[in-house]
Structure 1
C-alpha cells in the first residue's frame, strides 16, 4: 500500500475530521493472506477505525464474525482454501449484516457480478490506492451511521398512544391544508408505522380544479399541481410530525387521484436530523 502523504487532496480538513469521527465509531474485520499487505493495511485501518480485527484465512475470519459481528468486513477474494466469496456467503447465511468491501489483484467481470449478487458494498483492485480506499470506506461508514440515525429516529414511532398521535396529525394536516388552499379536505386519515407516516385525504379539490377536470385532458395538470403543493408544504408537514412524535421526516411520495378527489402523502423517517 502506497504512502498516505498528501491525503488532504481527498477532501478538506473539516471533512477529514468528520470522516475520522464516522469511522472511529465502527468495527472492521480485515481478511488477507499476504503478510506484507495485511500489515500495511492494518496500520492504515487502526488509524481510522475504533476496532480492527485481522485474519489470514477464511476459517479464522468466520470465527471473528461470530465473536465480534463487525460493521464492515474487508475481504480478499483469493484466499487459500475457502475463497473470499464463499466466506461472504457463509457469513450472510449466519445472519451477518455488515457491509462488505472486497479486494483482489484481478479485475474479473464474472467475479464482480457474483459479488454484486452477494450484496457486496464495493470492490477495490490491488495494489490498493490509499485515497480511493479511504474514500470507499468513508462512504460505507457514512451509510452505516445514517442508517443508525434513521433507526433511532424510527423508535419515536413506537408509541403507546399511537391512536392519539394519529388523530393529532390528522387534525393538524387538515388545518394546514386549509391554511394553504383556503379549504380543508372533507376528511383525512393519518397512519404511523415504524418507518413512515402516511396521510390520506378525501375531498381535497377546489372549485377551479373541479372545473378543469371537466376536460379529461387536464387530469395530469391538476395532479401535478397537487404534487407541487405538497412539496411546498414539506417543511410544515415535517414540523407537524416532529411536534407529535419527536422524529424528523422527509417527503417520500405524493399520489394524487384527481378522478376520485383523494390523495395519499407518505413521509419517511430521515437519516439526517437537523
Structure 2
C-alpha cells in the first residue's frame, strides 16, 4: 500500500497545550491523515480519546491540568494499548525512561521535524495495518474482510445498544465497537440512569454505582455473548469490564475463542 493511502486510513489524536504549535501541526497533519482530533491538555486528551478511539496519539509532555505522562498512565491503566508519539522540549534521561516504561513508540524533541514525524507515523501505521491483517482471520475457512468487519462492528453496536436499554433502562449517547484480532472492545459513553446520576451528584456513591453496573452486566451479559456468537459463528466470552461513572464511560472486553 502506498504511504499516502496508508496514512489516510489513520485517525490521530494530537494533544498540545500551546495554541500556535497545535494549529500549525494540525494543519500539517490534516492534509496527510484520514482524521486528526486535537486536545488542549491531558484531561481533554483522555476525553477525546474515549470519544474518538484514535489509532495513534501524538502528545506533548509538559501541560497544565494533566501532563502527557499522567494522561498516558491513565489510559494504560485502563487497558488502552494505543501507540504514543511523544513531542517535547525535554530531553532528560529520567523523563525518557519514564515514557519507555509506558511502552511509548517514539520520542521526538521539539521543535518537531515534520519529516521525521511522518516517517514515524508511517512506520506505526504499517505495524497497525499488519496487525489488522492478522486480526481479520476468524478461522481458516472464514476470512473477515475490512468491509465485513465494519458491518459486524455496526451490528454489534446495534445489538449492544438494545441490550443496554433492556438491562439498565437507558441507552448510551455514544457506543463504539472495535474488533481487534480475537478481542472485541465495546465503549459506551453517558449511559447512566437518572438514579445513578443523582447518586453521583452527592459525591459519595461512585463505588456503589460501579458495583451496581458490574453486577448487572455480569448477570446479563450472556445475552450479548450469545448474539455475537451467532453473528461470528465463534464462542465469545466477556474478559473484563471497566466502569468509570465520574468520566461517564464504560469499556467491555470480550474474547473470541
TM-score range, shorter chain: 0.5 to 0.7
2:76 corresponds to 1:76:
no
C-alpha separation between the residues in 2 aligned to 1:60 and 1:132?
26
> Paired residue for 2:123?
139
CA contact (8 A) 1:69 1:96 kept: no
Under a length normalisation based on structure 1, what TM-score does the superposition of the two structures give?
A: 0.50
The alpha carbon displacement at 1:108 in A equals 1.4
**Matches for 1:28-67 after TM superposition, within 5 Å:** 28-67=12-51
> Paired residue for 1:101?
85
Q: Per chain length, whose mean CA-contact separation is higher, i.e. which structure has more relative contact order (CA < 8 Å, sep 6+)? A: 1
Aligned length: 144
The alpha carbon displacement at 1:114 in A equals 0.8
Could you say what secondary structure the match of 2:139 adopts?
A: helix
C-alpha separation between the residues in 1 aligned to 2:141 and 2:90?
48
1:130 equivalent among 92, 114, 120: 114
The alpha carbon displacement at 1:150 in A equals 1.2
The alpha carbon displacement at 1:158 in A equals 7.5
2:134 corresponds to 1:150:
yes
> Paired residue for 1:233?
none
**Matches for 1:240-259 after TM superposition, within 5 Å:** none
**Matches for 1:183-194 after TM superposition, within 5 Å:** none
The alpha carbon displacement at 1:156 in A equals 2.7
Question: Cα–Cα, structure 1 residues 82 and 23, in superposed 2: closer, same or farther, change >3 Å?
Answer: same
The alpha carbon displacement at 1:58 in A equals 1.0
Aligned-pair Cα RMSD in Å: 1.8
> Paired residue for 2:94?
110
Under a length normalisation based on structure 2, what TM-score does the superposition of the two structures give?
A: 0.53
Task: Mark the runs of 5 or more structure 1 residues left unpaired by the alignment.
Answer: 1-16, 160-193, 196-274
Task: Mark the runs of 5 or more structure 2 residues left unpaired by the alignment.
Answer: 143-180, 183-257
Could you say what secondary structure the match of 2:17 adopts?
A: coil
C-alpha separation between the residues in 2 aligned to 1:109 and 1:43?
31
> Paired residue for 1:162?
none
C-alpha separation between the residues in 1 aligned to 2:127 and 2:86?
17
C-alpha separation between the residues in 2 aligned to 1:61 and 1:124?
19
Could you say what secondary structure the match of 1:67 adopts?
A: helix
Could you say what secondary structure the match of 1:103 adopts?
A: strand
